[in-house]
């Protein structure tokens, strides 16, 4: 018996040694120390609280690209890069070889089969539908009208109230509520009125936030572990299940209500000049779009049109508030555009907003330093070779750190850590074009964000109205730290005091 156990132990040890050296041979460009059994996961877990800045440090020390291997037998292996040539190759030049893949859809389960998680024909179908909706002039007018109405009736009055009270407020929470009300109105035709002076807790908003937070943990845990937690309904997986249930009940109730209304009015007699996106999808899709398709479309639109705008506005106002010279230049430009015009900032037309070149540069600079979606994930279909010289095996996982790309001297120069809107302005006074594979806040290639132009319109409308009317001062001790989420929000919010700007 002793000989049996000795032989078994020897065989196991030999197997581990062989597996260890096999991993070393396969992983030619390791980002960290590859520990036996645990792989490189310990370094990630130790730095999880600062994972975005940690990724910058690690990628810089490895020339922009390297390999991460997880615990043994978990298949938790990634090629991580921030090289713009690699990004251009994967997202544009060899687009068909890189997909989201089934594992991505498992991790992003809450997104269903929407545009962010689908591939091939399903993705093309989703994209064609949304492209048709977003490019329609009537929708652009509807979106602008909705935002301006919420701005005039809720956001500006609330900021004025907060100024009068002299209270410290979390501006990120304000923007969260503002964008949540907007996206509900735009997508669902329903305003939950989250943005009010009593700051009500809205269950659906809380559920939506929790689902997103849980997704990031699936990226840092071995698949078998988070699936076990899902089966046992413990930890973040329990929260994920509960939040998705809450969101789904909310959406399906609205779908049923809208379906009944459309039947009542025979699909075409609602009398509305322009309907919300859900109504439009139900009208045009008819029998093609079942409840599941509509639910997935709504969830994906929520992520695209709510959290990303919240993130961009929060970081923009933090950067502007902490860079008074930039704030002064933006205000000077706004006043120049107005001149003797009696219009208020929230009445500016789209054409007038396009004249705000410096403001556009400040927004781009914000998105460069703090991209709302800090990383992108792809899976290779067939073997490939990246421009950096790194080989890609079939089914290999790639992760792009968009956050790191905005902080590389090789891409943006030695002043890359500075908030410098001037880098986006040409000598002739126009905005500088930067290829999407370098400035990747809106993705690149065929999957470039359809709502890019609409996003700039929204941010400019809000920025001009707030900056012309109010001065935002960050309170002492407020630390702007990226949260651990799939969307780059501030971990503890943006605490500010608001004062009325003298006219």
Residues in binding site for heme: 449
The set of residues, in sequence order, having a beta carbon less than 8 Å from that of 168 and lying 6+ positions away, is 475, 495, 496, 497
Q: Taking the CA of residue 153 as centre, how many other CA atoms within 13 Å lie in the half-sphere pointing to its CB? A: 11
Q: For residue 66, what are its two tokens? A: 């390297």
Q: Residues comprising the binding site?
A: 449
The rounded distance, in Å, linking the Cα atoms of 405 and 408 is: 6
* Closest CA relative to residue 458, chosen from 274, 311, 329, 339: 311
The set of residues, in sequence order, having a beta carbon less than 8 Å from that of 316 and lying 6+ positions away, is 362, 363, 366, 459, 463
Tokens 């594979």 locate to: 437
Please provide the size of the chain in residues.
503
The set of residues, in sequence order, having a beta carbon less than 8 Å from that of 482 and lying 6+ positions away, is 52, 53, 370, 374, 403, 488, 489, 490, 491
How many other β-carbons are positioned within 10 Å of the β-carbon of residue 35? 15
The rounded distance, in Å, linking the Cα atoms of 296 and 112 is: 5
> If 0-12 CB within 10 Å is exposed, 13-18 middle and 19+ buried, where does residue 343 land?
exposed
The rounded distance, in Å, linking the Cα atoms of 251 and 287 is: 18
Q: Strand pairing partners for 378?
A: 398
Contact at 8 Å (CB) between 21 and 32? no
Q: Strand pairing partners for 80?
A: 66, 399
The rounded distance, in Å, linking the Cα atoms of 30 and 17 is: 18
The set of residues, in sequence order, having a beta carbon less than 8 Å from that of 125 and lying 6+ positions away, is none
Sign of CA dihedral 297, 301, 304, 306: negative
The rounded distance, in Å, linking the Cα atoms of 209 and 343 is: 37
Q: For residue 404, what are its two tokens? A: 């790191």
The rounded distance, in Å, linking the Cα atoms of 390 and 408 is: 19
The rounded distance, in Å, linking the Cα atoms of 49 and 357 is: 36
């Amino acid at each position: 018996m002793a000989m049996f156990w000795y032989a078994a132990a020897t065989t196991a040890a030999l197997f581990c040694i062989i597996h260890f050296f096999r991993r070393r041979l396969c992983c030619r460009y390791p980002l960290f120390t590859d520990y036996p059994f645990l792989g490189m996961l310990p370094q990630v877990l130790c730095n999880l609280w600062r994972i975005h800045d940690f990724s910058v440090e690690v990628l810089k020390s490895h020339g922009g690209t390297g390999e991460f291997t997880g615990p043994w037998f978990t298949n938790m292996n990634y090629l991580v890069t921030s090289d713009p040539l690699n990004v251009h190759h994967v997202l544009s030049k060899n687009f068909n070889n890189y997909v989201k893949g089934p594992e991505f859809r498992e991790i992003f389960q809450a997104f269903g089969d929407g545009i962010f998680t689908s591939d091939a024909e399903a993705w093309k179908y989703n994209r064609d539908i949304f492209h048709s909706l977003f490019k329609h002039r009537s929708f652009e007018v509807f979106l602008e009208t909705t935002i301006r109405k919420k701005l005039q009736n809720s956001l500006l009055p609330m900021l004025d109230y907060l100024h009068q009270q002299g209270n410290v407020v979390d501006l990120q929470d304000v923007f969260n509520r503002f964008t949540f009300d907007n996206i509900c109105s735009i997508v669902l035709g329903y305003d939950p009125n989250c943005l009010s002076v009593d700051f009500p807790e809205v269950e659906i908003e809380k559920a939506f936030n929790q689902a997103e937070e849980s997704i990031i943990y699936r990226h840092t845990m071995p698949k078998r572990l988070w699936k076990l937690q899902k089966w046992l309904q413990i930890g973040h997986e329990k929260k994920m299940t509960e939040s998705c249930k809450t969101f789904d009940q909310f959406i399906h109730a609205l779908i049923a209500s809208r379906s009944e209304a459309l039947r009542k009015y025979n699909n075409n007699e609602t009398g509305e000049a322009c309907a919300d996106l859900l109504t439009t999808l139900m009208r045009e899709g008819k029998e093609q779009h079942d409840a599941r398709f509509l639910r997935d479309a709504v969830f994906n639109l929520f992520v695209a049109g709510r959290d990303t705008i919240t993130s961009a506005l929060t970081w923009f106002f933090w950067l502007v508030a902490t860079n008074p010279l930039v704030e002064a230049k933006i205000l000077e430009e706004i006043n120049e555009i107005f001149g003797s015009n009696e219009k208020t900032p929230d009445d500016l037309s789209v054409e007038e907003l396009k004249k705000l070149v410096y403001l556009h540069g400040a927004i781009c600079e914000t998105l460069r330093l703090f991209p709302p979606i800090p990383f992108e994930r792809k899976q290779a279909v067939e073997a490939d070779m990246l421009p950096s010289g790194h080989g890609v095996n079939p089914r290999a996982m790639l992760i792009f750190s968009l956050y790191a790309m905005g902080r590389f001297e090789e891409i943006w120069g030695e002043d890359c850590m500075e908030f410098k809107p001037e880098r986006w302005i040409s000598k002739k006074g126009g905005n500088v074009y930067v290829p999407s594979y370098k400035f990747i806040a809106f993705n690149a290639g065929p999957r470039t964000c359809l709502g890019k132009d609409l996003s700039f319109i929204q941010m400019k409308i809000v920025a001009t109205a707030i900056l012309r009317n109010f001065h935002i001062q960050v309170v002492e001790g407020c630390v702007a730290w990226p949260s651990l989420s799939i969307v780059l929000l501030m971990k503890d919010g943006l605490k500010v005091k608001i004062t009325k700007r003298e006219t």
